[in-house]
Copies of this chain bind each other. A is one copy, B any other.
Amino acid sequence: MELDTPKPRRRGRPPKQADGQRNTRAALVRAGVELLTEKGFAATGIDEFLRRVGVPKGSFYHYFSSKEAFGTELIENYANYFARKLDRWLLDESTPPLQRIANFVADARAGMERHGYRRGCVIGNLGQEMGALPDAYREHLADVFTDWETRLARCLELARQEGSIAPDSDSRTLARFFWIGWEGAVLRAKLELSPTPLDLFAQGFFLGLGR
């Protein structure tokens, strides 16, 4: 065996050490978020999440009290990841506010392209299948959208203050409009396996700002 060949993963119960458990738990959350960008939650069995991480079937409840609790953690994990991504672009003081938004759009587009337009937005995906999900997710998902709206509205407000968009614009309404349409664009990009819907929506949004 060559020195740099990784050892085969041992099957069986998860390791006793707290570290190993934390790592497995984190790996399950990562795999869960990844799966949810591609597929629905209701349609995905717990064993599919476990299989991705190579964790033996049956040990799920060692890490999470229920599939519902697991889902809640996936929402939180994705929301945190995405909030950091938004801040990276929207708080970039070296760039004019509207360009920051364009940079976020370009980054999101590149992210979708990297995965062949097969991965979308976890929050949008879960929102779409709310009819099949625990009702407690509803408020949680709506709160995530409100958080994204607040971050975008702040940036649009800067654009308004510096005169890049009409002085009577309502930044909050514009931000609401953006996320409503953007989720539609992500959905269509996944359906068409193409960036065109993202480009088209973003162009229309920026044109509308010029009113």
Contact = CB atoms under 8 A, between A and B. Distances in A.
B132 A43 contact: yes
B185 A200 contact: no
A42 interface: yes
A128 B187 contact: yes
Contacts of A182: 184
A188 B121 CA distance: 13
A138 B207 CA distance: 30
Q: How many copies does the complex hold?
A: 2
23 contacts: A39-B42, A40-B43, A43-B129, A43-B132, A120-B128, A128-B190, A130-B191, A138-B193, A141-B191, A142-B191, A142-B192, A145-B188, A173-B200, A177-B200, A179-B188, A180-B181, A183-B184, A183-B188, A184-B184, A204-B208, A207-B208, A208-B208, A208-B211
Given A173-B200, A201-B180, A211-B207, A191 B138 contact: yes
B124 A128 contact: yes
A187 B124 contact: yes
Interface footprint category on A:
35 or more
Interface of A: 38-40, 42-44, 118, 120, 124-125, 127-132, 138, 141-142, 145, 173-174, 176-177, 179-185, 187-188, 190-193, 197, 200-201, 204, 207-208, 210-211
Nearest to A173: B200
A142 B131 CA distance: 23
Grouping DSSP codes into helix (H, G, I), strand (E, B) and loop, the A interface class, with mixed when no group exceeds half, is helix
Nearest to A36: B131
Given A183-B188, A204-B208, 10 more contacts: A127-B191, A128-B187, A129-B129, A145-B191, A173-B200, A177-B200, A180-B181, A180-B201, A181-B201, A184-B187
